[in-house]
Amino acid sequence: MVQSKTANKKPANTAFKQQRLKAWQPILTPKTVLPTFFAIGAIFVPLGIGLFMASEKVNQVIFDYTACKDITNSFDTNRIQNPPPFPITDWRFDTVSDVCTLRFDLPTDFKAPVFMYYRLTNFYQNHRRYVKSFDSAQLAGAVVPVDKLSVACDPLRQPTPNKKIGKSNVIIANGAQYYPCGLIANSLFTDRIQNPVLVSQNVADPLSSTYEFSNQGIAWPADLQKFGPTKWNDTEYKDQIPTMLIPPDQWVEAFPEWENGYNSTNLPNLQKWEAFQVWMRTAGLPNFRKLWGKNEVKDMVQGTYEISITYKFDVQKFGGTKSVVISTISFLGGKNPFLGIAYMTVGALCIILGIVFLIRHMIKPRKLGDHTYLSWNQPQADRGSLQGGQDGNVVRS
């Protein structure tokens, strides 16, 4: 029998297999470690101070209007019970129109650009099923049959047939679908925040003017390509829109224009509805803010403002709160002192450790490469203790 030549061939002894690859193994000595600590401190502390000062230059007001629904129906500057949270000076709630009207103080002039956000707490947009609950083709405008829609839209993919839409007489047909489908769209923030009106400028002559916030240009440019107007109006099914395309349940309750369902003239144009696009980009944390509008031209002057908010989004069912945030920005974005504080803390800690190690080195220096610290140069008792610590067994002398 002829034995194969490769049968007894030994594997090549490469540098990788023999662990002889080139590597850099720095020797940590006081001459290298101490300057590194002081250098990090010298860089991080001034950088942290600069970041913190940039954050402090951002002007911002936040007012929580969650409890506005529980107050009286008229302004009462002498109200003692349930006082409004700072910086709200007064508020009222109209039970007929569900409109919360509040007044707040702007402590200083806000230089353009000025941004308005709404802020929610305890709302988990990062839940796995919630994040996946949409159909990308439907959002892009394609006509997708209900059986072809993503199953991730369940349970808000197909409405129950033979039921009325809201208070109308429109009956949902078999094979109808929610437009848009999914949990994200149905939970859309439905409060409508009006532009604030300046009612007093803290001067002798009262001034009344409206500060305009635009809701255009608030979505990410990358998101604009994901949404498009639906093509249902361009198909033979145009006449079936009222019974085949159904607004999400929360939209029927919150938006008067859709309380009787859709038709060929009132279908939402998702391509131009940037507030919807902002909502569809889910947040990673339970407490978040989303952009509502911006003004890049006009400064917002100091004074007392009045703002009206249609109160439709219920936060009490998930134990959350809702607020309005009006803010300017710096070169780093919005107000966020954490980054500056983190840099200053790390820098100060490095300087303190550098000083401690320097004092220790000056008082009791250790000779570099001193062989007397090796285990076989230690007394018998110390060697036994050392060996016991390494092997797990105590060696007695």
> At CA 188, angle to CA 187 and CA 191, rounded to 5?
120
Question: What's the confidence (pLDDT) of residue 392?
Answer: 45
User: If you average pLDDT over every residue of the chain, what do you get?
Assistant: 84
DSSP state of 103: E
Average pLDDT over residues 218-237: 86
**Pairwise CA distance, residues 164 & 242, whole Å:** 11
More confident residue, 200 or 247: 247
Question: What's the confidence (pLDDT) of residue 353?
Answer: 93
Which residues lie across from 114 on neighbouring strands?
A: 295
Question: What's the confidence (pLDDT) of residue 78?
Answer: 43
Average pLDDT over residues 146-162: 88
| 357 φ, ψ (degrees, to nearest 5) | -65, -35
E strands present in 248-301: 288-295
**Pairwise CA distance, residues 388 & 378, whole Å:** 14
CB 45 within 8 A of CB 346: no
What are 274-308's pLDDT values in tens digits? Answer: 999 999 999 999 999 999 999 999 999 988 899 99
- Answer yes or no: is pLDDT of 119 > 60: yes
For residue 186, give the H/E element and its range.
Answer: helix 183-186
> Is residue 102 classed exposed, middle or buried when 0-12, 13-18 and 19+ CB atoms within 10 A define those classes?
buried
Question: What's the confidence (pLDDT) of residue 384?
Answer: 56
Q: Where are the domains of the chain?
A: 30-50+341-391, 59-328
Question: What's the confidence (pLDDT) of residue 80?
Answer: 42
| 26 φ, ψ (degrees, to nearest 5) | -70, 145
E strands present in the chain: 60-64, 88-94, 99-106, 114-120, 177-178, 192-193, 197-200, 209-210, 245-246, 288-295, 303-310, 322-327
Question: What's the confidence (pLDDT) of residue 8?
Answer: 61
Confidence grade of residue 238 (pLDDT, cut at 50, 70, 90) = confident
CB 225 within 8 A of CB 280: no
Q: Is the pTM of this model over 0.85?
A: no
pLDDT over 90 percentage in the chain: 40
Confidence grade of residue 76 (pLDDT, cut at 50, 70, 90) = low
What are 192-221's pLDDT values in tens digits? Answer: 999 999 987 654 444 458 899 999 999 998
Confidence grade of residue 365 (pLDDT, cut at 50, 70, 90) = confident
